[in-house]
Every structure is written in structure tokens, then in C-alpha cells.
Amino acid sequence: MDMRATLDGAVIMAPMTRGGNLPYRRLCSELGATITMGEMALSRKLLRGHRPEFALLKRAPDERCFAVQLAGNNAEEMAEAARLAVSRGADFVDVNCGCPIEDMTRRGLGAALLQKPKRIAAIVDAMVKAIAPVPVTVKIRLGWNEDDRNYLVVAKAAVDSGASAITVHGRTRAARYRRAADWEAVGEVVQAVSVPVIGNGDILFPHEIAAFKARSGCTAVMIARGALIKPWIFREATDGYIDFDAPARLQLLERYVTLGREHFGTDERGERRLRGFLVWHCGFWCRYVPRHADGTYPVMQEREEHFEPRNELEVLLSRDDAAAHEWLCDLLLKGADAAGPAPALPTAEAANSRSDMAEG
């Protein structure tokens, strides 16, 4: 695979734990995502035959270009896990050097590897030798914290060992997702390495894709939270801004239910698993706010305080309380044609009251 040609102008669906489940990747593919990445898989669990981990390698037939992301800190294990990923249809394999979650970093995985550029180099070298000519890519953050922003050292170590592309999430591990992404730093990596660079961080609207690419000079962009909030961002990347009104958004949720049932099944266990994902996704879908009346746009890192829903359905879809999410999921799973009345929707006041009691 020619990674420079594959990535030229691409808008990539990021690897996201839970968010990158196969039905959601299919939904994003239908909405224009040309490169999708599976949920992070742990190399050691794969080598131990852990069935749930192998499910993360599964590719949907309609995914045009599919990548597997692996997490591990042992070069030999990562090489063998890469072979498993390729045997199951991965077009390229990515190394996770950016996950900030404590459960990962305390085990020396994810962003913890940023403190060990030589270890990253050894991992990439072993993987490249194991799966060539299938490309190996690496996803990094800017460093462990603001005092150790070693992203240029890490990126060069990965490229010198054979990485075909670098994705740069423009934050340190310590920053998590709180600060705005540093796209100037992404641009520094573009200037420092000879392979394509993918920029990642804070993309929610299509004009931001062009602006961040122009600021950094990156070859492609990767979208994570933006794709969870509004999966049609991939269509916007080619067609421009689209205000998906409430009925259109509801249709997308119904489509996700259909895709989820095709994947998880329609028995009790499948419905239970799908419902868990639905409730989780509602926590992102409710964050959507359209373009402001004055033509300006909401931004990822600022909470929108002044959005007024335009109709009753939009009020429902915008509610961020668990009671509304549970109600909406039950309605979606029940279906419009099911017998019996819909459950009563808790009022916002009642939901807030329960939230206050829980916090007390």
C-alpha cells in the first residue's frame, strides 16, 4: 500500500475504545469515512487467545480501508499480534503510543511509551519486519507532560525504524482532553519527518479540517470525539456544513440500531449489548449544537451555554441526563411499530432532582 497516496486528503475515523465498535464504524462509513480504525486491541491478550480481543480485529465488508490499532510494550508480542491483525484483513497496523488512561499507562502501555523512544523504535522495527509490505503507523501525543514534550524525538525514532506514517494528537498525556490541541506542534512533526503526518485534535466542523491542515501542513486528519458527536462530519468533509435536524438525527440513531442488531444479534444477549452501546453513545450525541445564527460555530473545548433547541424532538436529543438517555434507548430498541405505549419521559426537573440527590 502506498500510504502517501492513501492518506492524501483523507479524513480518518480514529481508533476509539467503545466508540470504534463495528456497527458505529459502518455508520461512519455510510456517511463518508474512507479510512476507519478499530478499537485498540491489547497484543498480549491476542496472543493468549482472548476471544473479546479478537472481536476488535473484525472488519466489516463495507469498510473501504481498515486499520487495527495495537497496544503493547514488548516488540516480539507486538510483531506477532500484527501478523494476527493482517491475517484478519487489516490494511495497515497502528501502534498506540498515546492512550492517556491510567489503567494503561501504569502497565507501561499507551502514552507511557512516550518516555521510552528506544522501546518504540524496537517495537516498530519488529512489526515492520513481521508484516512487510503491510504498513505500520504510530499514533503519539506531544509527550508525557508539558515539561517533557519530546514528540520530535519520538516521531523520528518511529520513522527511522520503518513507520510509514505518524499520527500526532496535539496534546500531552497530562493534558488529556482539557486543553486545545496544539496544531503548530503537529506542523513541527510534518517538517521533521519524511513520511505522511496525520493531525488529530478538536475537529468538529468541516471548516476546521481545512484550517488545521493549512496551519500544520499535515497530509490527513483524524477525527475522534467529533465523529462520536456527529458522525456525518465525514460527509461534511466533502460536502461542507450540514445541519442535521432532529428528525434526520433520529434516523441516524435508528440506522445504528439496525447495524447493531446485524452485528450483536437480536437475542436477549445481543439486545443487552446493543443497549449498553446505545446509552454510551447518547452521552456524545446529545452534545451536538448547530452553527450559531450569526454564522459562527461552537468549538470542541467550550461548553455551549446558549443553544435553544428548535423543537420538542431536539429538546429530547439535547438532554444530557441519564434518564433521558435510557428512555430514548428504550424507544429506539422497541421501535415505532411495537405494541404498547411508550414509557413516560421523565421531566428535566425530575432528572435534575435525582442528579442532585445522587451528588449529595
Which of 224, 239, 254 terminates a domain? The answer is 239
Residues 55, 170: one domain?
yes
Q: Identify the sign of the CA torsion 150, 152, 156, 158.
A: positive
Residues 327, 181: one domain?
no
pLDDT one-digit tens code per residue, 79-102? 999 999 999 999 999 999 999 999
CA distance 133 to 123: 16
Are the C-beta atoms of residues 165 and 3 closer than 8 Å to each other? yes
Are the C-beta atoms of residues 155 and 149 closer than 8 Å to each other? no
The three-class DSSP label of residue 344 is coil
The residues that bridge with 66 in the sheet, in sequence order, are: 36
Predicted pLDDT at 345: 62
Predicted pLDDT at 346: 60
Which of 199, 215, 239 terminates a domain? The answer is 239
Percent of the chain with pLDDT over 70: 93
Residues 78, 213: one domain?
yes
CA distance 7 to 2: 9
194 residue type, one letter: S
Among the listed ranges 116-125, 226-235, 347-356, which one has the minimum average pLDDT value? 347-356
The range of the structural domain enclosing residue 160 comes to 3-239
Among the listed ranges 63-77, 111-125, 275-289, 336-350, which one has the minimum average pLDDT value? 336-350
Residues 96, 132: one domain?
yes
Active site residues: 99
CA distance 157 to 134: 19
Residues 326, 194: one domain?
no
Alpha-helical regions (H) of 266-311: 268-285
Residues 174, 123: one domain?
yes
Residues 267, 178: one domain?
no
Which of 197, 222, 239 terminates a domain? The answer is 239
Mean pLDDT score of the chain, rounded to an integer? 92
Residues 137, 234: one domain?
yes
Residues 251, 235: one domain?
no
Identify the DSSP state of 135.
-
**How many domains, the chain?**
2
User: What average pLDDT does this structure show over 156-181?
Assistant: 93
Residues 61, 27: one domain?
yes
Residues 68, 171: one domain?
yes
Residue 223 has pLDDT above 90, yes or no: yes
Place of cell 432532582: 353
Give the list of residues 6+ apart from residue 286 with CB closer than 8 angstroms, or none. Answer: 317, 318, 319, 320, 324, 325
Q: What CATH number corresponds to the domain at position 213?
A: 3.20.20.70
Residues 329, 276: one domain?
yes
